[in-house]
Amino acid sequence: MNIKNYKDWLSIVSRNEYPSILGIGGEEKFLVEESVKTIKKNLFHLNDLIDFNLDVLTAKTSSLQNILACAEIFPLAPSLRRLVIVNDSDFLKIDNDFKNYFKNPNLKTVLFFIFNEFNIANKLQKELLANESLFNFNHPSNDNMINIIQHRVSKFGLNITQDVAEFFQFEIGNNLLFLERALEKISIICEDGLITKKLIEEHIAQIAFHDTFDLIYALILKDKIRAIKSCIELRKQQENPINLIRLIAWKFRIVLKTRLFLDNGADSSDIGFKFRLSGDKLKIVLNAARLITTDLHIERIKYLTKLDKQLKTSRVSSWLIFDSAIMQLCDNY
């Protein structure tokens, strides 16, 4: 039994071969939302019959019997497939009727379950997992992020080399929403279709999320006033604190790794080569690495990990938690 990931999803999208029953969930809501848009586009294109061949339900108010009844309906045109989207599928309790449908589904319908949380203890997710039709869209790893960047770049009709994709990933971290905004901007100004390091360096700061990087560098340099100003701007832009914490943690890990390299005798040129840094950016990272002890660097990463969990589970305003955390980072780390 294999849990499918985003790379597996791209594979079936490229072939336009969707299983009759599939489920999607995970932490990366941006990818979940995009998958819905993608499957609609691929199944229906600009077909006028979309209203007759699409049902969007929620498991909070729709019974399993109603969902299966919708799935049993055939499309109006034989060449098409129907799509039944079931939001909030975590609330569904499966029974024998569903298990029977699972064994013999309507091949002209794609029954698409969307989960708010990925939890293989959930019986429906277990069934999907056993059928190898469950996709988990977690926050991408570093290697996956580079693959995603390359895929996203091609969707915009652009090209990028491996080393520039790695540099791009270092600049924006593993935040897919930031990536999308960056590519929207770059696609307008990229004249020859090739994204270069110079293009990223010159235009990345002009995108709306430059305040995020300003906040990160303020935290790195322990500049509380600058950090507060950046937080105010980010709140105005309605950024998600969870995404911000992940990006901050990503940059802090770079600083920690730099400190470890320094502790082991590496010089600035070695570190610049390792992390593709030069000029002022290299100086900032080196200064930040030397500013506090290795143990305190590690404690800061642990604090951000706990903060990420708190933001996911707390009923308190995420911005109240985030603002307090920024002060903690400036004062105690």
The angle at the Cα of 194, spanning 191 to 197, to the nearest 5 degrees, equals 105
pLDDT digit string, tens, across residues 172-200:
777 787 788 788 878 877 878 899 988 88
Q: What local confidence, expressed as pLDDT, does residue 1 receive? A: 63
The CATH fold of domain 141-207? Helicase, Ruva Protein; domain 3 (1.10.8)
Confidence of residue 208 (pLDDT cuts 50, 70, 90): very low
Please answer whether residues 217 and 229 qualify as being in contact, where contact means their C-beta atoms are separated by less than 8 angstroms: no
3-class SS of residue 287: helix
pLDDT digit string, tens, across residues 58-81:
999 998 899 999 999 998 877 789
Q: What local confidence, expressed as pLDDT, does residue 231 receive? A: 86
pLDDT greater at residue 254 or residue 205: 254
DSSP at 122: S
The CATH fold of domain 208-333? Zinc Finger, Delta Prime; domain 3 (1.20.272)
Report the C-alpha gap between 205 and 218 in whole angstroms: 15
Q: What local confidence, expressed as pLDDT, does residue 179 receive? A: 84
Phi-psi region of 279 (alpha: psi -120 to 50; beta: other; left: phi over 0): left
pLDDT greater at residue 221 or residue 166: 166
End-to-end CA distance of the chain: 43
Q: What percent of the chain has pLDDT over 70?
A: 95
Confidence of residue 210 (pLDDT cuts 50, 70, 90): low
Report the C-alpha gap between 85 and 33 in whole angstroms: 12
Cβ partners under 8 Å of residue 131, min gap 6: 19, 21, 102
State yes or no: pLDDT of 224 exceeds 90.
no
Q: What local confidence, expressed as pLDDT, does residue 107 receive? A: 94
Q: What local confidence, expressed as pLDDT, does residue 316 receive? A: 84
Q: What local confidence, expressed as pLDDT, does residue 232 receive? A: 86
Query: Residue 85: beta bridge partners?
Result: 56, 112
Confidence of residue 47 (pLDDT cuts 50, 70, 90): low
Q: What is the CATH number of domain 6-136?
A: 3.40.50.300
Where in the chain are the domains?
Answer: 6-136, 141-207, 208-333
Tokens 């977690």 found at: 138
Q: What local confidence, expressed as pLDDT, does residue 181 receive? A: 76
Both tokens of 251, joined, read: 């940059």
Q: What local confidence, expressed as pLDDT, does residue 205 receive? A: 54
Strands 54-58 and 109-114: unpaired
Cβ partners under 8 Å of residue 122, min gap 6: 90, 115
State yes or no: pLDDT of 211 exceeds 70.
no
Report the C-alpha gap between 326 and 248 in whole angstroms: 10
Confidence of residue 220 (pLDDT cuts 50, 70, 90): confident
Confidence of residue 23 (pLDDT cuts 50, 70, 90): very high
pLDDT greater at residue 316 or residue 88: 88
Q: Where are the beta strands (DSSP E) in the chain?
A: 21-25, 54-58, 82-87, 109-114, 134-136
Q: What local confidence, expressed as pLDDT, does residue 48 receive? A: 62
